[in-house]
Amino acid sequence: MSCSYGPGRYDPVYELKGRDYPVGFVRWTEQRNFEAVLDLMADGRLDVEPLVSHRFSIENARPAYEVVANHLGSLGILLEYSDIQSTTDRQLMQPSVSLAPTHRAQGSSSATVGFIGAGNHAVRVLISAFKAAGAELRQVVSSGGVSGVHAGRKFGFAEATTDTRRVLDDPQVAAVVIATRHDSHARLVIEAIDAGKHVYVEKPLCLTTDELGQIEAAWRAKSASGFTPLLMVGFNRRFAPHTQKIKQLLSSARGPKRLALS
């Protein structure tokens, strides 16, 4: 089974609670893969030195990313840390980092969007799609801060933060995109609805029927108060055979399309 770093990846019982897989059934788990590689490196039996094509100090990291972005023949880039913490490091330890001022045009009809989650799918697909659609990107949230700052600078967000409430409490944010771990989706959807935001959440919407009931109750309560939030669930299986077939069958129908399940 190929699963990122090995079996156990994305399994909260394994990764968060530390419940290991029996070695007789799963010889090479995520943890044992890492241990084996580190042991080989420590013994000198695995030489990674030839894989390092570039070296940069962390204070001079920008050229390293330029090498990657411009496809300048990099294989392995090593960032070397000194004992002195740089200004950038100290900045990333703050809950929020201002990246660029936003100047909203008078009468602009574009939606102001906040992103919660800055993983691979969010950065490579979702943020690009929202930006291409004309959305105003205001805040991006990441748990550690580094990926959020990187995505924020790349796509022109006004702020990067590790505080989810910065997005939910911001009156300028009209819609929230949730692209975090699956087990956090239901909670964040409910918090966003309670905050009066429209919501786009990557699949799945939730993990249990109880969570689904809580989301429905939150949506109905907010709608009864006079604001009806739009709630959309993403489906990132656009290359699946059934998806391709549906697109083929609907190709002659012009305009937006919606699939309603009952």
> Is it the case that residue 69 has pLDDT exceeding 90?
no
Check if the beta carbon of residue 112 is closer than 8 Å to that of residue 175.
yes
pLDDT average, residue stretch 21-27? 92
pTM: 0.60
User: Mean per-residue pLDDT for 145-166?
Assistant: 90
pLDDT at 105: 47
Domain parsing of the chain, residue ranges: 1-47, 49-82, 96-233
Cα-based distances in Å from 118 to 78, 84, 140, 173: 23, 28, 7, 17
Distance CA 250, CA 254 (A): 8
Strand partners of residue 139: 114, 159
Q: What is the pLDDT of residues 122-139, one digit of tens each?
A: 998 999 999 999 999 999
Distance CA 6, CA 214 (A): 34
Is residue 98 predicted with pLDDT exceeding 80? no
Among the residue ranges 52-61, 79-88, 146-155, 215-224, the one predicted with the least confidence is 79-88
Note the CATH number of domain 96-233.
3.40.50.720
Contact assessment for residue 118 and residue 140, using Cβ atoms and an 8 Å cutoff: yes
What are the tens digits of pLDDT across the range 222-247? 999 999 999 999 887 777 888 889 88
pLDDT value of position 128: 92
User: Is the Cβ–Cβ distance between 87 and 93 less than 8 Å?
Assistant: no
Q: Is residue 83 very low, low, confident or very high in pLDDT (cuts 50, 70, 90)? A: low
- Looking at every residue in the chain, the average pLDDT score rounds to 86
> What was the pLDDT predicted at 160?
92
Tens of pLDDT, residue by residue over 200-214, are: 999 999 999 999 999
As a whole number of angstroms, the distance between CA 218 and CA 195 comes to: 10
Mean pLDDT (whole number) for 5-33: 90
Omega into 7 within 30° of 0, i.e. cis?
A: no
Residue 145 has pLDDT above 90, yes or no: no
Residue 94 confidence class, pLDDT cut points 50, 70, 90: low
